[in-house]
A and B are shown apart, each in its own frame.
Chain A
Amino acid sequence: MKYFVMAFEALFINKLRAFLTTLGMIIGVFSVIVMIGLGQASQAYITDQVKGLGAGVLIITPGNPKSQTNGPPGVNTAKTLVLEDAEALERLPGIRYVSPNVFLQNMVSFERNALPAAVLGSTPNIVEARGFKVGQGRFFTDQEARTASQVIVLGHKLAQDLFADTLHRPLGSRVRIGSQRYRVIGILQEQGSGLFGSVDDQAFMPTKTFQNTLKAGKGLNSLFLKVTEEDLLPVVEARARTLLRYRHGLRESEEDDFKIQTQAELLETVSMITRVFTFLLAGIAAISLIVGGIGIMNIMLVSVTERTREIGVRKAVGANRQDILMQFLIESATISLTGGTLGIVLGLGITRIATQAINLPFVFSPLAVVGAFAFSAGVGIFFGLYPANKASRLDPVEALRYE
């Protein structure tokens, strides 16, 4: 107890110095907390989105999983899945719908406004599959999808930007992609960014329209396959595999040229990616925590030198080595714990505000808080140990003589 009083007294004497040293710790802990907080928030969001696909969903992506590096879904370059595959799969029993998706980055323009946007070709059931809400107008229908109508549904922000400074309303207007024109029939509600990029910046049209007009080739980027009952998932997966292998003319010895994942598997993949990402960010942030610790060590070393006489006096009146060691150690621990606590509070506050601002769920992680607190205590003790030990070993006669 007496050591704590001494530590506070000593820190109070050098307020500015103590504050600046504490600031190092605050920033360190703050950045770790914010990084972990944002990482976990996006992880929670992405997980929610994947869960939103529903349990009875298979995701089929082109390309051989073993001969290809892992990446987010939809960026595979292999074009082994075609629209006919989707139609064939739709005829399998136990399937509720098949949603073939194609994707291309393209310039979308209206009058003088031109914007780069992700254009997706899909089927009407993508609305259900990805939980879209239509703000104005409507999504395209099965009829329009079959007949490859030149219609388009715009994301919220894309519609806003595209029709900014024009006298036209988006609905019913025709936007241009390349040389083709598409009638805007609907605008989605604002959704925020997610697993498949920001929906607000995307445009949607029927897959057939996409393939007919945008010359993107026959390949599909992904196929969502919804089964009628979840129990059927393994059976449907096996049948879909057999069917696709047959359609692609694969021999017994050849590997699949596509990849079938269940929602659970996809969940595992994306949460692993985001977890690695979170750790990476937190790891980088932890470097600043170590820098903060070095700051503490530096200031404690200065303090020991400055207070050599004080140490001599204390020893002369009966302080033993342990007393001096504890005094300085608790001083550095006080700096780091104060900094840690403030950093945690500040970090949680900022994470809360930031997640609200970008529409992510706020995830409170007790583990991160306890971890940051323990780590900052550890930093204080670790980096305080050397200066404290140095102080405690001072020879009283030498220390008293020190000028």
Chain B
Amino acid sequence: MAPVIETRLLNKIYRGAIDYHALHDIDLQVQSGEMLALMGSSGSGKSTLMNILGCLDRQSSGEYVLAGEAVAGLNDAELARIRNQQLGFVFQNFNLLPRYSARQNVELPLIYAGLSPRERHKRAVEALEQVGLGDRINNRPNELSGGQKQRVAIARAIVNRPTILMADEPTGALDTRTSEEILQVFQHLHKAGLTLMMVTHEPDVAACCQRILQMQDGRLIDDRQIAQRSLI
């Protein structure tokens, strides 16, 4: 089976007064159904790689094939479509729209997917139930705890049934217990067949994955399978 993500000689250079080489010849393959952690100290390039893999940013050179589609030559609108249909994002600071209810936040990707209001409503509620927030659908973010906010964000990420879910420090703003809860949600989703990739610098969090990638100075320096610390 073809990999979900495949990159060849991926480079990212920030042009400026002094060029900054953020990514160096990244070769990476991610298979469907994997759960992997991307680790590294700050400035190692892990977020940059994540943004490129998440089609939020573009590589300077190299090839990137996502779910069988070469991303390099695509225009902005096509990248937006890929983000909408193939990818789900979870951020450290949740990035929920404060004036919208949990359900409205979760519906957001479906609006851009062009679904009818009725269908959006149904699927948003389903996704919220999936992350254990079925009783909170009409609450606004400021009425939710940090862990609940992150669950809403996860529901938003999975509502359009993406090929891969990408999480950037998903537990960075949470305490240990809440972090474990979120990781449990991830492991449940993984068990249900979702491919997950998360950026983290916490070994405890990375231990919940099956595979760990280590980055340093814009290069992949380690890639190994581990025995998953199961929370479920």
A residues with CB within 8 A of B: 2, 9, 13, 309-310, 312-323, 395-397, 400
Contacts and interface: CB of A to CB of B under 8 A. Distances in A.
A316 B76 contact: no
B77 interface: yes
Interface in B49-92: 51, 54, 56-57, 76-77, 80-81, 83-85, 89, 91
Interface stretch (B104-112, B122-130, B170-178): B104-112
Nearest to B89: A316
A317 B56 contact: no
B58 to A, nearest CB: 10
B105 to A, nearest CB: 9
Given A310-B97, A396-B56, A318 B89 contact: no
B113 interface: yes
24 contacts: A9-B99, A313-B97, A313-B108, A315-B56, A315-B83, A316-B56, A316-B89, A317-B83, A317-B89, A317-B108, A317-B112, A317-B156, A318-B81, A318-B83, A318-B85, A318-B112, A320-B112, A321-B77, A321-B80, A323-B80, A397-B51, A397-B57, A400-B91, A400-B95
Of A314, A315, A396, most B-chain CB atoms within 10 Å: A396
Contacts of A316: 54, 56, 83, 89, 95
Nearest to B99: A13
A274 B17 CA distance: 65
**5 tightest CB-CB pairs across the interface, nearest first?**
A318-B84, A320-B80, A317-B109, A318-B112, A320-B77
Contact of B112 (A9, A13, A323, A395): A323
A194 B74 CA distance: 71
Nearest to B83: A318
Contact of A318 (B57, B95, B97, B109): B109
Nearest to B82: A318
Interface in B192-213: none
Contacts of B95: 309, 312-313, 316, 400
Majority SS of interface residues in chain B?
helix
A320 B76 contact: yes
Contacts of B54: 316
B57 to A, nearest CB: 5
Contacts of B80: 315, 318-321, 323
Given A316-B83, A317-B156, 7 more contacts: A2-B111, A310-B97, A316-B54, A318-B85, A320-B81, A321-B77, A321-B80
Given A2-B111, A310-B97, A312-B95, A321 B76 contact: yes
Contacts of A397: 51, 56-57
A191 to B, nearest CB: 60
B99 A317 contact: no
Nearest to A14: B99
Contacts of B108: 313-314, 317
Nearest to B157: A317
Nearest to B48: A397
Contacts of B89: 316-317
Contacts of B109: 317-318
Interface string B175-193: 0000000000000000000
Contacts of A2: 111
Nearest to A318: B84
Contacts of A317: 83-84, 89, 108-109, 112, 156
- Select the residue from B76, B81, B113 with max chain A CB neighbours within 10 A: B76
A21 B156 CA distance: 33
B77 A322 contact: yes
Contacts of A310: 97
Nearest to A321: B76
B81 to A, nearest CB: 7
Contacts of B113: 318
Contacts of A13: 99
Interface string B18-53: 000000000000000000000000000000000100
B118 to A, nearest CB: 13
Contacts of A319: 80, 112
A315 B51 CA distance: 13
A396 B96 CA distance: 15
Nearest to A314: B108
Nearest to B100: A9
A314 to B, nearest CB: 7
A400 B168 CA distance: 12
Nearest to A307: B97
A361 B160 CA distance: 62
A3 to B, nearest CB: 10
Contacts of B81: 318, 320
Contacts of B99: 9, 13
B7 to A, nearest CB: 18
A326 B111 CA distance: 14
Contacts of B57: 395-397
